[in-house]
Amino acid sequence: MTTNSGTKRRPVIVQKYGGSSLATAEHIQNVAKRIQARKDEGVDVIVVVSAMGDSTDDLIDLSQAVTGGQIPDAREMDTLLSTGELVSSTLMAMALKAHGYDAISLSGIQAGIKTDMVHGSARIADIKTERLHSELDKGRIVIVAGFQGLAESGDITTLGRGGSDTTAVALAIAAEAERCEIYTDVDGIYTTDPRLTSKARKLSEIGFQEMLEMAVLGAKMNPRSIELGAVYNMPVYVASSFSNEPGTLIHGGEHTMEVRKAVTGIAVDRNVGKITVRGVIDRPGVAAGLLQPLADAGVSVDVIVQNASSDGTTDFTFTVDEVNVEKASEVIGRDSKVEYAEIVTGSGLAKVSVVGTGMENTPGYAARMFSTLAEVGVNIDMITTSEIRITAIIGRDQVQNAVQALHDAFELEKTE
């Protein structure tokens, strides 16, 4: 892929800046200075940008207005939304050139980003890096419009919520970058939500698997980009675009020099609703018979618990986003062929998860978690675990209480 074969390529760094970091012309000029400083370190820099501030929401509002509230055509929507990142990428290239740095913007198409044809949530199929490398070889800073790609049909696609993070990690992998740096309005990954306890501590590093659990469970990161980083072992650095404070490095873990703590952090999701289907005749196919209609209706199910039964019936409980409780209940009542006695719904719940690769195959952590919650009077509604996570569903009004107690119990305020 290199055009100067025989000579060693300079290290490549991919940076990504989110919309709140690019909200105004002044923001763009400030970010341009950060990019210049990185370039001055003697590395090749690829920058992925999101749309400026709320501009994507403004475009969505326009699409609602012209269609009179009908759902706009998905293909048109993708081309419409892709303009937001074209605007910010060209403005960033102009700002850099005005400061005397050679730079060029590339649309998703020009950057060689090929996707499947699922408008609104396309997946990257391939990245052709010829143009990227030829621009880097000219000494240019390359600014890539995030969130977008080109389907085989010649139509523009977008990657869905948080798509620019995915663009950045995918480009870092394709360009064999040293790492992908995500600059945003939060300054790193914390042991837990700092609004819940003043003892929350910023992590200097976290493993991909842990971060995936944290991301899925509510920490502010797009899980798809973490997953991509994990599969290709591309280190992802998360930091603030508004300060020079050190952020958090998400990485493969095996290179860690320090002794790891068993528990890395506590993830919280505060919008949990619950559906319990009581008196289900316990026979094979029951779970699928309940869950398939929900999948068909587009309702995501999260935690699933089935209690053993003695009288030949069973209770089947699962959680959904709180806004979907009524819809889920209706869908099962209408579409499921499974026999049951009654459906009970619950809301006002939250999910608290203790995450850490150190817990893997090590007993005692679940016991410590549940005894800690018992000591502070937190009632546990449901429990589910993975190899590196223990999750409890509790009342939402108990979340702060629970998180503070667990943060103390696992000594997360202390550095590794």
* Sites of contact with a second copy (CB under 8 A): 25-26, 28-29, 32, 59, 62-63, 65-68, 70, 72-73, 75-77, 79-80, 82-83, 86-87, 89-95, 97-98, 104-105, 107, 110, 131, 154-156
CB of 85 to a second copy, least distance (A): 10
Q: Which tokens sit at 297?
A: 């209706």
User: Is residue 277 classed as helix, strand or coil in its secondary structure?
Assistant: strand
Taking the least distance from each CB to a second copy, the nearer of 60 and 305 is: 60
Q: Which of 74, 80, 88, 66 has the alpha carbon at shortest distance from 19?
A: 88
Taking the least distance from each CB to a second copy, the nearer of 156 and 388 is: 156
Taking the least distance from each CB to a second copy, the nearer of 32 and 359 is: 32
CB of 79 to a second copy, least distance (A): 5
Taking the least distance from each CB to a second copy, the nearer of 110 and 329 is: 110
d(CA 29, CA 92): 8
Q: Is 198 exposed, middle or buried (CB count within 10 Å of its CB: 0-12, 13-18, 19+)? A: exposed
Question: How many Å is the maximal CA-CA distance in the chain?
Answer: 78
Taking the least distance from each CB to a second copy, the nearer of 76 and 227 is: 76
CB of 51 to a second copy, least distance (A): 11
Taking the least distance from each CB to a second copy, the nearer of 24 and 300 is: 24
d(CA 194, CA 187): 12
Length of the chain: 416
Q: Is 265 exposed, middle or buried (CB count within 10 Å of its CB: 0-12, 13-18, 19+)? A: buried
CB of 304 to a second copy, least distance (A): 38
Q: Which tokens sit at 391?
A: 């999750």
User: Is residue 223 classed as helix, strand or coil in its secondary structure?
Assistant: helix
Q: Which amino acid is residue 122, in one-letter code? A: A
Taking the least distance from each CB to a second copy, the nearer of 29 and 240 is: 29
Angstrom distances, CA of residue 213 to CA of 58, 267, 318: 32, 8, 18
**Residues forming a β-bridge with 46:** 14, 142
CB of 388 to a second copy, least distance (A): 44
Q: Which amino acid is residue 206, in one-letter code? A: I
Taking the least distance from each CB to a second copy, the nearer of 82 and 164 is: 82
User: Is residue 116 classed as helix, strand or coil in its secondary structure?
Assistant: coil
Side by side, the strands of the sheet bearing 313-321 are 301-306, 313-321, 265-281, 342-355, 389-395, 380-386
Taking the least distance from each CB to a second copy, the nearer of 29 and 271 is: 29
d(CA 236, CA 172): 9
Taking the least distance from each CB to a second copy, the nearer of 79 and 329 is: 79
Cβ-contact 158, 120 below 8 angstroms = yes
CB of 139 to a second copy, least distance (A): 15
CB of 43 to a second copy, least distance (A): 23
CB of 165 to a second copy, least distance (A): 22
CB of 114 to a second copy, least distance (A): 15
Q: Residues 6 or more apart from 268 whose CB is under 8 A from it?
A: 192, 193, 196, 217, 218, 350, 351, 352, 353, 399, 403
CB of 150 to a second copy, least distance (A): 10
Taking the least distance from each CB to a second copy, the nearer of 63 and 385 is: 63
The DSSP code sequence of 163-215 is: HHHHHHHHHHHHTT-SEEEEEESS-S-BSS-TTT-TT--B-SEEEHHHHHHHH
CB of 320 to a second copy, least distance (A): 30
